[in-house]
């Protein structure tokens, strides 16, 4: 399957790396719109770089070899992963439709752009869809923990509270230095409901930190699951880490000490020492590594869209190329 990545930022560069490692995919190239250090890194990795026709000279002046135009790249591929900035996907979709190319968008786009996707929850429903939307990092993480709990217990209602990071480490757009923003009825609960049928509300705060999001869930069950049962269910999930930790910096430092590239964990970390169960209500928090948690979903979305593998095989192969099984085992051992 020939794949191109339109947009080579936080998500795009990680997806490109994963596509390049996948046994059933070929990375045609990536698009760049600015001749910066990211373009030079892509060139060092041997990726074909495609740019807007009017910017070819700008790249060549910086000594960056250009493989062709963005439109030529899209024409040469079977599937486009659109990792462009939030909100640009709608305009890009018009080009993909014109060229007859299926595409995968990110969670910053409106849910009307394509079929919302989470591999654990609705892989088969996305098969052969023309346009797929991989939901945001937080929504992906909510789905990864709520789906197995929904399968094991009956959930009556979920209340989600998010402390979002202010910006990614590489961002220069900035975040408030001494202010915390919030939004009631944030998009996360709605986006979960595009995938999982569970009554949910969400309230999101944005705080001036960069390492990860920290989200808390109050889950009301029809029944009284114990703390131990909740931990057992989530620890059995291949794409959820269960660990005892006291801060986001502690978790990220472990990722660094383990030598993980870009300290990418690819999975939400369920904080086992945050779990509280009282009657039919359970509370726990998860740490979401916002830069990497949707990478696996993008790869599985390509597989589903192209009909390349069954769900279980796709998830297994994706987890293997990203080293998720090893990461989960190592983090859970160190932070056990």
N-term to C-term CA, the chain: 40
> CA–CA separation, 81 vs 295, rounded Å?
11
Active-site residue, selected from the candidate residues 4, 77, 137, 143:
137
Secondary structure of residue 118 in the 3-state scheme: coil
Does residue 137 carry a catalytic annotation? yes
Could you tell me how far CA 305 lies from the centroid of its own chain?
Answer: 17
> What DSSP character marks residue 44?
H
Cβ-based burial of 154 (10 A; exposed 0-12, middle 13-18, buried ≥19): exposed
Structure tokens at 224: 């009284």
Q: What is the dihedral angle through the alpha carbons of 328, 264, 188, 174, rounded to the nearest 10 degrees?
A: 150
> Can you tell me the distance from the alpha carbon of 204 to that of 183, in angstroms, rounded to the nearest whole number?
5
Concatenated DSSP letters for 143-157? HHHHHHHHHHS-EEE
Taking the CB of residue 276, how many other CB atoms lie within 10 A of it? 12
Helices (H), 54-154: 56-61, 70-76, 89-99, 119-122, 137-152
**DSSP result, 275-328:** -EEETTEEEEEEEE-TTTTTHHHHHHHHHHHHT-S-HHHHHHHHHHHHTHHHHH
Q: Pick the closest to residue 99 from 82, 85, 86, 83 (CA basis).
A: 82
- Which are the catalytic amino acids? 137
């Amino acid at each position: 399957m020939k794949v191109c990545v339109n947009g080579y930022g936080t998500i795009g560069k990680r997806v490109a790396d994963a596509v390049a490692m996948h046994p059933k995919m070929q990375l045609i190239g990536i698009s760049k719109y600015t001749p910066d250090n990211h373009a030079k890194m892509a060139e060092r990795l041997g990726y074909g770089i495609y740019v807007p026709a009017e910017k070819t000279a700008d790249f060549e002046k910086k000594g960056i070899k250009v493989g062709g135009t963005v439109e030529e790249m899209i024409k040469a591929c079977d599937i486009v992963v659109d990792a462009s900035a939030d909100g640009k996907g709608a305009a890009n979709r018009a080009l993909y439709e014109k060229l007859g190319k299926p595409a995968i968008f990110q969670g910053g786009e409106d849910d009307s752009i394509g079929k919302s996707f989470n591999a654990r929850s609705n892989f088969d429903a996305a098969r052969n869809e023309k346009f797929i939307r991989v939901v945001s990092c937080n929504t992906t993480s909510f789905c990864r923990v709520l789906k197995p709990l929904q399968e094991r217990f009956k959930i009556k209602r979920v209340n989600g509270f998010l402390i979002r990071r202010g910006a990614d480490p590489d961002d220069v757009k900035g975040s408030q230095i001494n202010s915390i923003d919030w939004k009631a009825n944030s998009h996360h609960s709605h986006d979960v409901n595009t995938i999982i049928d569970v009554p949910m509300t969400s309230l999101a705060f944005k705080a001036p930190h960069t390492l990860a999001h920290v989200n808390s869930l109050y889950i009301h069950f029809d029944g009284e699951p114990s703390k131990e049962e909740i931990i057992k269910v989530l620890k059995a999930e291949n794409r959820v880490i269960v660990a005892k930790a006291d801060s986001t910096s502690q978790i990220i430092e472990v990722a660094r000490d383990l030598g993980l590239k870009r300290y990418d964990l690819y999975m939400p970390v369920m904080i086992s020492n945050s779990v509280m169960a009282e009657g039919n209500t359970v509370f726990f928090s998860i740490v979401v590594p916002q830069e990497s948690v949707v990478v696996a979903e993008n790869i599985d979305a390509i597989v589903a869209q192209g009909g390349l593998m069954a769900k279980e095989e796709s998830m297994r192969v994706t987890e293997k190329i990203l080293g998720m099984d090893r990461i989960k085992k190592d983090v859970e051992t160190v932070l056990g």
